[in-house]
């Protein structure tokens, strides 16, 4: 019969897996409902991350049903759980790349790196999980659960540690740095995300070395914190017609709409999170809000503006303080060099 400590361990594993999967599915549902698609990847990350404890869960139910612990089956079930949970690395990596990296090529290279780490880890789990885990069987079978202590020097665990350390630096410290250098809602949500990732990775590292029920519950708490960092803020939906398209050089056409911005449009932009440029919903927290006038821009328009004139369309405050800004010129004042005109004609033909 299970001891008190055995019950605590078993219940913590049940809560971690069942509650983790339920929260993960809820995140996916919320992402479809609110339009914050990045929540889908957080939901997937949570749902599959907790599968790492699948062997422990099976051991708990085996004791409840038969009064004995698992034998060699423990490693077989654990192998399946570890392989599936490795996909959480890719989901978390994608979240960081999507929110932190604006350079597409660098983002692709970084994501390929995460894929390589994941594949290397999966290979080692399949063929040498016996070297990654040290199973400590209870002296009195059926009273305690099997303790699966990790071997930090095993190649598979080294690869997993490297991947998690990179994610901790990239996500934990990355969002902290972003919070320090941002304004308004981006600052707030970046701090929340940084806290969530610090709790997640620190709880995972410590629990892997010193199994403790409370640390498993902290992992679920970390994902709830991350949810508040990535979710859409509640707001009243309004319909507004998109009048422009932002895509590469086409932005040069939309910049001349600047003179036609009305006070009503600026008000809508602030209150309803409507991008002042493309008139589309500014979805997600990774948007730009001018620290001077609080005008809202979607990330795509903000990035394109930075490459063009680098000023807010309303107050003309620089968007990126580290880069020079170009004074805005009205359409009639803009002089296009003759050679550029020829290039435009050839391009259009």
pLDDT for the residue numbered 301: 81
Q: Quick one: angle between helices 73-85 and 87-100, nearest 10?
A: 20
Residue 125's pLDDT band, with cuts at 50, 70 and 90, is: very high
Strand partners, 134: 149
- Per the CB < 8 A criterion, the answer to whether 108 and 19 are in contact is no
In this prediction, residues 214-239 reach a mean pLDDT of 72
Residue from 11, 85, 10, 82 nearest 47 by CA = 85
Structure tokens, 283: 């979805």
Helices (H), the chain: 4-14, 20-34, 38-49, 54-66, 73-85, 87-100, 104-132, 155-167, 174-180, 184-209, 213-230, 251-254, 263-272, 299-308, 338-348
pLDDT for the residue numbered 74: 92
pLDDT for the residue numbered 76: 92
pLDDT for the residue numbered 75: 92
In this prediction, residues 318-344 reach a mean pLDDT of 62
Residue from 88, 243, 112 nearest 171 by CA = 88
Taking residue 17's Cβ as centre, other Cβ atoms within 10 Å add up to 21
- Per the CB < 8 A criterion, the answer to whether 219 and 207 are in contact is yes
pLDDT, tens only, 130-151:
899 988 898 888 889 998 888 8
Name the most confidently modeled range: 123-127, 148-152, 212-216, 256-260.
123-127
Taking residue 22's Cβ as centre, other Cβ atoms within 10 Å add up to 13
Taking residue 67's Cβ as centre, other Cβ atoms within 10 Å add up to 12
pLDDT for the residue numbered 266: 66
pLDDT for the residue numbered 249: 36
In this prediction, residues 33-46 reach a mean pLDDT of 80
Kindly give, in sequence order, each residue whose CB lies less than 8 Å from that of residue 128, ignoring residues fewer than 6 positions away: 154, 155, 156
Helices (H), 231-330: 251-254, 263-272, 299-308
pLDDT at 251 over 80: no
In this prediction, residues 273-291 reach a mean pLDDT of 72
Give the residue with greater pLDDT, 72 vs 61.
61
pLDDT for the residue numbered 276: 79
Topology alike, domains 4-230 and 248-348 = no
Q: Tell me whether strands 288-289 and 296-297 are parallel, antiparallel or unpaired.
A: antiparallel
Taking residue 269's Cβ as centre, other Cβ atoms within 10 Å add up to 26
In this prediction, residues 16-43 reach a mean pLDDT of 83
Kindly give, in sequence order, each residue whose CB lies less than 8 Å from that of residue 64, ignoring residues fewer than 6 positions away: 2, 10
In this prediction, residues 210-237 reach a mean pLDDT of 75
Residue 26's Cβ-count burial label (10 Å; 0-12, 13-18, 19+) is middle
In this prediction, residues 199-225 reach a mean pLDDT of 83
- Domain positions in the chain are 4-230, 248-348
In this prediction, residues 167-185 reach a mean pLDDT of 81
- Per the CB < 8 A criterion, the answer to whether 145 and 63 are in contact is yes
Four-way CATH pick for 248-348: 3.30.40, 3.30.310, 1.10.10, 1.10.287: 3.30.40
In this prediction, residues 152-162 reach a mean pLDDT of 89
Q: Phi/psi class of residue 38: alpha, beta or left (left: φ > 0; alpha: ψ in -120 to 50)?
A: alpha
pLDDT for the residue numbered 19: 86
CATH architecture assigned to 4-230:
Up-down Bundle (1.20)
The one-character DSSP state at 284 is S
- Of the listed ranges 43-47, 56-60, 174-178, the least confidently predicted one is 174-178
pLDDT at 94 over 80: yes
- Per the CB < 8 A criterion, the answer to whether 163 and 121 are in contact is yes
């Amino acid at each position: 019969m299970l001891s008190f400590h055995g019950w605590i361990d078993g219940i913590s594993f049940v809560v971690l897996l069942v509650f983790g999967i339920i929260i993960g599915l809820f995140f996916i549902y919320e992402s479809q409902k609110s339009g914050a698609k990045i929540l889908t990847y957080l939901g997937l990350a949570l749902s599959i991350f907790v599968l790492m404890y699948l062997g422990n869960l099976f051991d708990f139910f085996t004791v409840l049903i038969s009064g004995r612990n698992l034998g060699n089956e423990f490693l077989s079930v654990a192998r399946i759980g570890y392989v599936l949970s490795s996909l959480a690395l890719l989901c978390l990596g994608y979240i960081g790349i999507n929110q932190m990296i604006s350079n597409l090529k660098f983002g692709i290279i970084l994501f390929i790196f995460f894929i390589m780490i994941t594949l290397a880890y999966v290979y080692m789990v399949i063929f040498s999980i016996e070297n990654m885990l040290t199973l400590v069987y209870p002296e009195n079978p059926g009273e305690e659960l099997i303790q699966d202590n990790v071997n930090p020097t095993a190649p598979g665990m080294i690869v997993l540690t490297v991947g998690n350390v990179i994610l901790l630096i990239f996500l934990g410290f990355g969002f902290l740095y972003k919070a320090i250098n941002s304004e308004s809602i981006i600052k707030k949500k970046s701090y929340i995300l940084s806290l969530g990732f610090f709790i997640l990775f620190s709880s995972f590292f410590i629990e892997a070395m010193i199994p403790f029920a409370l640390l498993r519950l902290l992992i679920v708490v970390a994902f709830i914190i991350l949810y508040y960092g990535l979710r859409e803020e509640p707001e009243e939906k309004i319909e507004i017609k998109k009048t422009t398209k932002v895509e590469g050089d086409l932005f040069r056409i939309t910049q001349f709409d600047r003179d036609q911005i009305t006070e009503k449009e600026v008000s809508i932009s602030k209150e309803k999170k409507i991008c002042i440029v493309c008139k589309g919903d500014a979805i997600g927290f990774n948007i730009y809000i001018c620290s001077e006038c609080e005008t809202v821009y979607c990330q795509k328009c903000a990035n394109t503006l930075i490459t063009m004139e680098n000023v807010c369309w309303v107050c003309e405050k620089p968007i990126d303080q580290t880069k020079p800004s170009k004074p805005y010129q009205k359409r009639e004042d803009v002089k296009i060099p003759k050679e550029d005109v020829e290039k435009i004609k050839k391009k259009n033909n």
